[in-house]
Amino acid sequence: MSPVQLRPDRVTQEMLNYARKLGDGLAKLSKMGPIEAGVTPKQLVYQEDKLSLYRYRSPTKSGSRNPIPVIIVYALVNRPYMADLQENRSMVRGLLGAGLDVYLIDWGYPDRADRFLTLDDYINGYLDRCVDVVRHRHDLNAINLLGICQGGAFSLCYAAMHPKKIKNLITMVTPVDFRTDDNLLSRWVQEIDVDLAVDTLGNIPGELLNWTFLTLKPFRLMSQKYIDTVDVLDDEKAAKNFMRMEKWIFDSPDQAGEAFREFVKFFFQQNGLVRDLINLGGRDVRLRNIKMPVLNIYAKQDHLVPPAASTALRRLVGSRDYSELEFAGGHIGIYVSGKAQQQVPPSIGDWLDRRS
Amino acid sequence: MDLFQRLLSQGNSFFAFGDTFAHAFEAAKPDADASEILNGALEIIKQSFEPEKMRDAANTVGGLWTFPLESWQRTANLLGDSAIKPLPNASLSDALGVFQQPLERVLSTPGLGYNRESQEQLQQYAKLKLHYQKASQAYSAAFADMGKRSIERLQDHIKQRTTKGESLITSARQLYDLWIDSSEEVYGEFVIGEEFVQLHGKLTNTLMALKQHEGRMLDDYLEFLNLPSRGEIDTLHRRFRDSRRETKTLQAQLNAVVERFKALQKALRRMEKQNKSEKAKKSRKNAGRKAKPKSGRKSHS
Q: What is the CATH number of the domain that holds A282?
A: 3.40.50.1820
How far is residue A220's CA from residue B74's CA, in Å, rounded to a whole number? 19
Amino acid at A249: I
Tell me: the pLDDT tens digits for A122-159? 999 999 999 999 999 999 999 999 999 999 999 999 99
Q: What is the average pLDDT across A90-111?
A: 96
Quickly state the pLDDT bin for B6 (edges 50, 70, 90).
confident
A329 domain residue, yes or no: yes
Tell me: the pLDDT tens digits for B279-296? 999 998 888 887 776 655
A12 domain residue, yes or no: no
Alpha-carbon distance B281 to nearest alpha carbon in chain A (angstroms): 35
CB-based contact A282:A240 (threshold 8 Å): no
- The candidate with the shortest Cα–Cα distance to A227, out of B151, B67, B161, is B67
The one catalytic residue in A95, A148, A149, A157 is A149
Interface probe with B: pick from A1, A2, A136, A165, most Cβ of B within 10 Å = A2
Higher pLDDT, A69 or B35: A69
- The candidate with the shortest Cα–Cα distance to A171, out of A298, A286, A67, is A298
How far is residue B181's CA from residue A179's CA, in Å, rounded to a whole number? 26
Using left for φ > 0, alpha for ψ between -120 and 50, and beta otherwise, residue B115 falls in alpha
A4 domain residue, yes or no: no
A195 domain residue, yes or no: no
Contacts of B240 in chain A (CB under 8 A): 113
Q: What is the average pLDDT across A298-324?
A: 97
Are A26 and B21 inside 8 Å of each other by CB? no
Given B13, B72, B172, which is nearest A14 (Cβ)?
B172
Contacts of B215 in chain A (CB under 8 A): 200
Tell me: the pLDDT tens digits for A224-244? 999 999 998 888 888 888 999
Are B237 and A116 inside 8 Å of each other by CB? yes
pLDDT of residue B79: 77
Q: What is the average pLDDT across B139-157?
A: 94
pLDDT of residue B25: 85
Are A227 and B205 inside 8 Å of each other by CB? no
pLDDT of residue B301: 42
Q: What is the average pLDDT across B80-94?
A: 54
Exposed e or buried b per residue across A121-134, where buried means at least 16 C-beta atoms within 10 angstroms of its C-beta: bbbbbbbbbbbbbb
Q: What percent of chain B has pLDDT over 70?
A: 85
Q: Coil, strand or helix: which one is A326?
A: strand
How far is residue A175's CA from residue A208's CA, in Å, rounded to a whole number? 20
* Average pLDDT over all residues of chain B: 85
User: What residue in B sits closest to A26 (Cα-Cα)?
Assistant: B4
Are B169 and A218 inside 8 Å of each other by CB? no
Given B6, B25, B161, which is nearest A3 (Cβ)?
B161
Residue B32 C-beta-side C-alpha neighbours within 13 Å: 15
How far is residue B196's CA from residue A65's CA, in Å, rounded to a whole number? 52
Q: What percent of chain A has pLDDT over 90?
A: 83
How far is residue B86's CA from residue A234's CA, in Å, rounded to a whole number? 39
A116 domain residue, yes or no: yes
B114: pLDDT strictly greater than 80: no
pLDDT of residue A267: 98
Interface probe with B: pick from A200, A204, A208, A250, most Cβ of B within 10 Å = A200
Domain span including residue A66: 42-187+271-353
Burial class (CB in 10 A: 0-12, 13-18, 19+), B277: exposed
Tell me: the pLDDT tens digits for A47-97? 999 999 999 998 776 677 899 999 999 999 999 999 999 888 999 999 999
Given A22, A197, A215, which is nearest B68 (Cβ)?
A215
A193: pLDDT strictly greater than 50: yes
Contacts of A226 in chain B (CB under 8 A): 6-7, 10-11
- Stated as kind and residue range, the H or E segment containing A169 is strand A166-172
Alpha-carbon distance B70 to nearest alpha carbon in chain A (angstroms): 10
A348 domain residue, yes or no: yes
Q: What is the average pLDDT across B61-78?
A: 84
Alpha-carbon distance A7 to nearest alpha carbon in chain B (angstroms): 7
User: For strand A42-48 and strand A51-56, is the pairing parallel, antiparallel, or unpaired?
Assistant: antiparallel
Contacts of A194 in chain B (CB under 8 A): none
Interface probe with A: pick from B1, B139, B197, B259, most Cβ of A within 10 Å = B197
- Helices B172-191 & B116-164 angle (0-180, nearest 10): 130
A281 domain residue, yes or no: yes
Tell me: the pLDDT tens digits for B197-227? 999 999 999 999 999 999 999 999 999 999 9
Are B38 and A25 inside 8 Å of each other by CB? no
CB-based contact A71:A104 (threshold 8 Å): yes
Alpha-carbon distance A87 to nearest alpha carbon in chain B (angstroms): 24
Q: Which of A184-188, B32-36, B143-147 has the lowest mean pLDDT?
A: B32-36
Give the CA distances from residue B84 to residues A8, A202, A212, B33, B73, in Å, rounded to whole numbers and listed in that order.
41, 21, 19, 46, 8
A253 domain residue, yes or no: no
Q: What is the average pLDDT across B29-56?
A: 83
First to last CA, chain A: 66
B300: pLDDT strictly greater than 90: no
How far is residue A284's CA from residue A134's CA, in Å, rounded to a whole number? 25
B89: pLDDT strictly greater than 60: no
pLDDT of residue B1: 54
How far is residue A107's CA from residue A127's CA, in Å, rounded to a whole number? 10
Beta bridge partners of A4: B169
Are A15 and B18 inside 8 Å of each other by CB? yes
Tell me: the pLDDT tens digits for B231-284? 999 999 999 999 999 999 999 999 999 989 999 999 999 999 999 999 999 998
Are A4 and B19 inside 8 Å of each other by CB? no
First to last CA, chain B: 118
Given A8, A187, A222, which is nearest B22 (Cβ)?
A8
Q: What's the number of domains chain A is made of?
A: 1
How far is residue A335's CA from residue A245's CA, in Å, rounded to a whole number? 12
How far is residue A107's CA from residue A5's CA, in Å, rounded to a whole number? 54
Q: What is the average pLDDT across B101-118?
A: 73
Are A196 and B212 inside 8 Å of each other by CB? yes
Amino acid at B73: Q
Alpha-carbon distance B160 to nearest alpha carbon in chain A (angstroms): 9
Asked about A157 being catalytic, the answer comes back as no
Higher pLDDT, B112 or A25: A25
Total residues found in chain B within this entry: 301
Quickly state the pLDDT bin for A36 (edges 50, 70, 90).
confident
User: What residue in A sits closest to B13 (Cα-Cα)?
Assistant: A223
A174: pLDDT strictly greater than 70: yes
Given B166, B184, B237, which is nearest A219 (Cβ)?
B184
Are A11 and B238 inside 8 Å of each other by CB? no
pLDDT of residue A45: 98
Amino acid at A117: L
How far is residue B9's CA from residue B18's CA, in Å, rounded to a whole number? 14
Q: What is the average pLDDT across B71-97?
A: 65
Given A15, A115, A223, which is nearest B10 (Cβ)?
A223
SS3 readout for chain B: CHHHHHHHHHHHHHHHHHHHHHHHHHHCCCCCCHHHHHHHHHHHHHHCCCHHHHCCCCCCCCHHHHHHHHHHHHHHHHCCCCCCCCCCCHHHHHHHHHHHHHHHHHHCCCCCCCCHHHHHHHHHHHHHHHHHHHHHHHHHHHHHHHHHHHHHHHHHHHHHHHHHCCCCECCHHHHHHHHHHHHHHHHHHHHCCHHHHHHHHHHHHHHHHHHHHHHHHHHHHHHHCCCCCHHHHHHHHHHHHHHHHHHHHHHHHHHHHHHHHHHHHHHHHHHHHHHHHHHHHHHHHHHHHHHCCCCCCCCCC
Alpha-carbon distance B107 to nearest alpha carbon in chain A (angstroms): 23
Tell me: the pLDDT tens digits for A334-344? 988 999 999 99
User: What residue in B sits closest to A202 (Cα-Cα)?
Assistant: B234
Cα Rg of chain A, angstroms: 22
pLDDT of residue B98: 62
